[in-house]
Structure 1
Amino acid sequence: MLDFLNDLLWGKVLLVLLITVGVGFTVASRFVQFRYFGRMFQILGASQAFKRDKHGHLSSFQALVLSVAGRVGGGNIAGVAVAITLGGPGAVFWMWMVGLMGMATSFLECTLAQTYKQASGDGTYRGGPAYYIVKGLGSRWTWLAGLYSVLLLVTFGFGFTALQSYAVATSFGDAFGVPVLYSGLGLAMVVGLIIFGGIKRIARISEVLVPFMAGGYILIALLVLGINIDKIPDVFMLIVKSAFGLEPAIGGGIGAAIMMGVKRGLFSNEAGLGSAPNVAAVAYVPHPANQGIVQAFSVFIDTVIICSATAFMILLSGVYDPASTNEVAGIALTQAAMADHVGEWGRTFVSLALLLFAFSTILYNYYLGENSLNFFSRDNQTLFNAFRVAIVLLVCWGATTDLGTVFGFADVTMGLLAVANLIALIMLFKPGLRILKDFDGQIRGGLKQPIFDAKQHPDMNLDPKAWEIEPEDLARMHDVLGNTPASAKD
C-alpha cells in the first residue's frame, strides 16, 4: 500500500503540481529568479546591518542558513548517486531544470510566509503554510491548515528526525566502528543542548555549521574538478546529450532520466513542500520579497551547486560504469568515486559530510515540528519542552532501529504535505504577485531597498506588528544602501 501511494503521489500527482507551480509562477513573475539573481548577494550583504540589533530579531542570512541546513542533506550525496544509477547522466540535467524552476516556487511560498507572519513578542516571528492558508484563504480553510500542520509534525518533526539519526549513527559506525547506541546517545545529548535554547540558539549554531559543511564539500569538489579540468567539457556534453536521448541508452533511457532527475531534484531542494517557508518566516526583513529572493538562492545552492558537485565527482571518476552501477549505488557510489579521486580518506570525508548534513537537518526538522505545534497552541512552553524531550528520545531510538517502514510512511505523509501546500500556492498566486509588484514598483521608483507597509494592504489580514522596522535599522539602511529614513517611512 505504501509503495502504491508513493508511486501515485511522487510519480504522477506531485510531478504535475510541482511543475505547474514552478513553471507557472516563473512565467507570471517574469522570471523573478533570474531578474533578481544578482540582488540575492546584495540582500545577504545588507542583512548584516539587520543582524546587529538589540531586539532579538533573526537576520535574513540566519534564516537562509537554517533553511539550507534542511535542504542540504543526504539527497545531495546519496540521492544524486541514485539518480545517476537509475536515470543515467541525463538525470543531472533534469535536476538542474527542476532546481531553476523550483527557485520560483520557493520565492512564492517564502514570500507568502513572510507576508503573513506573526510577531511572537520576543523579537522573533512565526509563519509558514499553515499561517498563509488561514490568513490568505480565510477561516473556512482552517481545516487544510490544521491538516498541513499535523502532516508537518509527523513527517519532519518525528519521522525524518529518526531517519536522520539513523543515517548519522550508521554512517559513523561504518567509518569509525562506533556502536550505533553510543552514536545515538552522543547525538541526542548535543541535539538536546541546542534545541532547548530555542530558535535563536539553533540559528546561531546553523550560522557557523552550515557554511562550514557546505563550503568544505564544495572545496573538495573544486579540487576534484581542478584535477580533472580537461575532462569537464566531455562530462557536461554527456549530461546534456543523455538528457535528450542523444547517447546510447544509459540507466533506462530518456524517460528514466527525466523521471529520476525530476524526483531527486524535488526531493533534494524541497521547493513546494512548504517546509522552508516555516523557517523563512522567522527573518526580520524590510520587505517580504527580500526573503523570497534569498530562499530562491538556497534552492540554487542545493540543486545547482551542491548536487552538481556530487554528480561531477561521480561522472569524472573511474568508478562510474553504466553497465555495473547497480552493484555500487547510493552513498557507496559517492564514497567510491571520492576515493578514486583523492585516495581512501575520501570515503571518510563523505561519511563526515553526511554526518554534518544529517545533524543540521535534525535541528531544522525540530524547528518545523515546533512551528507546527505552535499553530495549535501559541508559544506554549510546556508543550514545547515536552516536544524537545520527545525529540531527544527519538534521536536515541532512531539510531538503533531499522526504519524502513517509517521511511515509506514518511514519504507518503511528505507527499500529502506537498499536495496541501501546492493547492494553497495555486490559490494564492494573486497575493504573491501583488507583493512582487509592490517590490518591483519601489525598485522602479528609485528606492534601493523597498520597504513593506502593511497598512497599504488592509484587505490581506496581516499582522502590523510583524512589519514594524526599528528606527535604528532605517538609519542603517540609509548608511548601507542609500535609502533615506524619510523615504522608508513614506
Structure 2
Amino acid sequence: MNILLEVLNKINAFLWGAPSMILLVGTGLFLTFALKGLQFTKLWYAFKLAFTPDKEDSEAEGDVSNFKALMTSLAGMIGNGNIAGIATAITLGGPGALFWMWVVGLIGMSTKYAEAVLAQIYRVKNPNGEYSSGPMYYIERGLGKKWKPLAIGFAFFAGIAALGTGNAVQSNTIADVMDNSFHVTGWVTGVLLVILTGLIIFGGIKRISNVAGVFVPVLAILYIAGSMLILILNFDQIIPAFGLIFHHAFTPVSAAGGFTGFVVTQAIQHGVSKGIFSNEAGMGTVAMIAGNAKTSHPAKQGLVAMTGTFIVTIIVCSMTGLVLVITGFWDPSGGLLSGVEHNANLDGGALTSAAFGAVLGVIGEYIVSISVVFFGFSTIIAWYVYGSKSFEYLFGVKYVGIYGVLFLAATYIGSVADLKLVWAFADMANALMIIPNLIGLLLLYKVVKQQTENYFANPIEKEQLQKNA
C-alpha cells in the first residue's frame, strides 16, 4: 500500500504541477478576453439575477430555480477547502498566497460562466423527467460522437472523485471534528451521516436543492459573521494585514529562528492550486447542476453560476485568510496580533479553529467546528449530484440507485478509515476531470461567445443593464 501511495503521490505531483496550473489559468484568461471581461463588467447584474426572483425564469423549462441551482453548486464549493485548504495555502505559501487565490478566483469566474452556459445549451431530459447536464454532454453533443471517449473519461473520473474528495474525505473530516470537539466516536458519526445523506439524496434533485437552499445561506452567514466579528474586534490590523498579503505576493518572506520563510513561487503555487480546489473553476462540476436550472436564456444561468466563484473565493476564503494573517497563525514565530499563543504543530482546519479561538475563545472554536461539520455535509450531498449524473451518463438512469448505495458505503468508510490512499486516488481523479473539460471549453468557446452576444444584444436586456449601471 505504501508503494501504491508513493506512486500516486508522484502522479499527482505531475498532474497538479505547472502544466495543469498553466492550462487552468490560461483557459480562464482566454475566456476572460473572449468574453470581454464579462465577470467584471456584469458582476452587479449577475448578483441581481441570482438573488432576485424572475417570473420569466420561473416559467422556463427546468427542475429547480436558478437560485437553488446556485445554492447546490455552492454547497459543493463552500466546504472544508475554504477552512482547511486556505490555512494550508497560507502556511505553505505565506500571506501572498491569498492574493494569488483572488487572482485565480476572478479569472475562474469566466470559466464557470462558460461551463454553465454550455450546460444549458446541451442538457438532455432523462427518462425520469429530470434534466441531465455536464461536460460529458457538451463534449459529446457539442463536439460530436468522435469526442465521446473524452466525455466518458470525464464522467468516469468525476464519479470516482465524487466518492473520494466529495464524500469519503468530507465524512472523514466531519468524524474527526465530531470526535475532537463533541466526543462522538467515528462509527456513530458514520451511521448518522449515512442516514441523513440517504434521506436527502434519494429524494432527487429537488430535495437536494431544497436542503442546499436552506443550509448554504445559514452556514455561510454563521461563518462570515464569526470572521467579521474577529475583524471588527481587530479593525486596526486589517490594513496591515492587506499590506502583508500584497507585499508577500511579490516578495519572499524571510526566515527567522526556526521559521523557514517562503519564496514567491510558493505563494503562487499554493494560492493557485488551493484557489482552484476551493472554487472548482475548470472542474466542470457547476455544469452538472446548472442544466437543471429554470432560466429563459443560457447566458443568464452563466451569470448566476459565476457569482458562486466570487462568493467562495473573494468573500469566504478571504475571511479565513484575513483571520489567519491578523492573528498571526500563518507564522509560528508571531503575527500582527500580540498576546496570542501559537502552536507550530497545528495545520489545516485545526489551525483555523485555533485562530478563531484565540480571539473569541471556545465560541470561536465551536463556530469553526460546526462550520466544518455542516459545510462538509453540504459538500457530500452536492457531490452526490455530480457523481450520480456521471454514473447515469455511463450506465443509464435505471442504475443510478446502485451508485447511491456505493455513495453511502463511501460515506461510512470515510468516517472510520485512514484515507491517505483515498485522498491520493481522489486527487488524481480531480486532476483527470479537468483535462477533458478544459478541452471542451476551449473548442466550444465560440458557442459561449455567440450566446453571450445574443443575450446582451436583446433590447430588453440592454435597458435592464442600463438601470443597474
The reply to whether TM is greater than 0.5 is yes
User: 2:351 is matched with which residue?
Assistant: 333
| Equivalent position to 1:90, from 87, 90, 96 | 96
User: 1:118 is matched with which residue?
Assistant: 124
Indicate conservation of the 8 Å contact 1:183/1:399, yes or no: yes
Q: In the aligned structure 2, how far is the partner of 1:49 from the partner of 1:444? A: 15
Indicate conservation of the 8 Å contact 1:111/1:288, yes or no: yes
Would you say 1:243 and 2:249 are equivalent positions? Answer: yes
1:54 is displaced (CA, Å) by 11
Return the letter of the residue paired with 2:281: A
User: 1:58 is matched with which residue?
Assistant: 64
Q: How far does the alpha carbon of each residue in 1:43-73 deviate from its partner, in whole angstroms, 9 at most, with x for none?
A: 1244454686698731100000000000111
User: 1:81 is matched with which residue?
Assistant: 87
Q: In the aligned structure 2, how far is the partner of 1:371 from the partner of 1:195? A: 12
Would you say 1:433 and 2:449 are equivalent positions? Answer: yes
Would you say 1:399 and 2:415 are equivalent positions? Answer: yes
2:13 is paired with a residue of what secondary structure? helix
Q: How far does the alpha carbon of each residue in 1:258-308 deviate from its partner, in whole angstroms, 9 at most, with x for none?
A: 111111101111000111110111101011111111111100111110000
Would you say 1:267 and 2:277 are equivalent positions? Answer: yes
1:159 is displaced (CA, Å) by 5.2
Q: In the aligned structure 1, how far is the partner of 2:395 from the partner of 2:206? A: 20
Q: In the aligned structure 2, how far is the partner of 1:443 from the partner of 1:68? A: 32
Would you say 1:131 and 2:142 are equivalent positions? Answer: no
Would you say 1:232 and 2:242 are equivalent positions? Answer: no
User: 1:312 is matched with which residue?
Assistant: 322
User: 1:280 is matched with which residue?
Assistant: 290
Would you say 1:343 and 2:361 are equivalent positions? Answer: yes
1:35 is displaced (CA, Å) by 1.4
| Equivalent position to 1:220, from 215, 220, 226 | 226
What are the ranges of 5 or more consecutive residues in structure 1 without an aligned counterpart? Answer: 450-480, 482-490
Indicate conservation of the 8 Å contact 1:71/1:302, yes or no: yes
1:185 is displaced (CA, Å) by 0.2
Q: How far does the alpha carbon of each residue in 1:364-397 deviate from its partner, in whole angstroms, 9 at most, with x for none?
A: 11111110122134432xx122222222222112
User: 1:31 is matched with which residue?
Assistant: 37
Return the letter of the residue paired with 2:290: A
Indicate conservation of the 8 Å contact 1:171/1:354, yes or no: yes
| Equivalent position to 2:309, from 296, 299, 311 | 299
1:182 is displaced (CA, Å) by 0.4
1:119 is displaced (CA, Å) by 2.9
Deviates more, 1:197-206 or 1:322-331: 322-331
Return the letter of the residue paired with 2:302: G
Q: How far does the alpha carbon of each residue in 1:65-108 deviate from its partner, in whole angstroms, 9 at most, with x for none?
A: 00000011111001111111110000000000000001011111
Indicate conservation of the 8 Å contact 2:161/2:429, yes or no: yes
Return the letter of the residue paired with 1:353: S
Return the letter of the residue paired with 1:256: Q
Q: In the aligned structure 2, how far is the partner of 1:403 from the partner of 1:167? A: 10
Q: How far does the alpha carbon of each residue in 1:229-248 deviate from its partner, in whole angstroms, 9 at most, with x for none?
A: 11111110110001010764
Q: In the aligned structure 1, how far is the partner of 2:236 from the partner of 2:38? A: 35
Q: In the aligned structure 1, how far is the partner of 2:392 from the partner of 2:23? A: 28
CA 1:259–1:284 in 2, change beyond 3 Å: closer, same or farther? same
Q: In the aligned structure 2, how far is the partner of 1:235 from the partner of 1:189? A: 43
1:399 is displaced (CA, Å) by 0.7
CA 1:152–1:318 in 2, change beyond 3 Å: closer, same or farther? closer
Would you say 1:196 and 2:202 are equivalent positions? Answer: yes
Indicate conservation of the 8 Å contact 1:161/1:394, yes or no: yes
Return the letter of the residue paired with 1:14: S
Q: How far does the alpha carbon of each residue in 1:163-203 deviate from its partner, in whole angstroms, 9 at most, with x for none?
A: 11111111111111101000100111011111110111000
| Equivalent position to 1:410, from 408, 426, 433 | 426
1:316 is paired with a residue of what secondary structure? helix
1:341 is displaced (CA, Å) by 1.1
Q: In the aligned structure 1, how far is the partner of 2:127 from the partner of 2:62? A: 10
User: 2:337 is matched with which residue?
Assistant: none
Indicate conservation of the 8 Å contact 1:318/1:340, yes or no: no
1:142 is paired with a residue of what secondary structure? helix
CA 1:441–1:15 in 2, change beyond 3 Å: closer, same or farther? same
Q: In the aligned structure 1, how far is the partner of 2:250 from the partner of 2:363? A: 36
Return the letter of the residue paired with 2:262: G
1:411 is displaced (CA, Å) by 0.4
Return the letter of the residue paired with 2:316: I
Alignment coverage as a number of residue pairs: 448
Q: How far does the alpha carbon of each residue in 1:295-327 deviate from its partner, in whole angstroms, 9 at most, with x for none?
A: 111001111100000011111115443548752
CA 1:263–1:204 in 2, change beyond 3 Å: closer, same or farther? same
Would you say 1:164 and 2:170 are equivalent positions? Answer: yes
Indicate conservation of the 8 Å contact 1:51/1:58, yes or no: no
Indicate conservation of the 8 Å contact 1:94/1:262, yes or no: yes
User: 1:463 is matched with which residue?
Assistant: none
1:150 is displaced (CA, Å) by 0.7
User: 2:338 is matched with which residue?
Assistant: none
CA 1:320–1:147 in 2, change beyond 3 Å: closer, same or farther? closer
CA 1:218–1:50 in 2, change beyond 3 Å: closer, same or farther? farther
What are the ranges of 5 or more consecutive residues in structure 2 without an aligned counterpart? Answer: 1-6, 334-341
1:13 is displaced (CA, Å) by 2.1
Q: In the aligned structure 2, how far is the partner of 1:125 from the partner of 1:313? A: 41
CA 1:21–1:78 in 2, change beyond 3 Å: closer, same or farther? same
TM-score (norm 1): 0.87
Q: In the aligned structure 2, how far is the partner of 1:306 from the partner of 1:405? A: 29
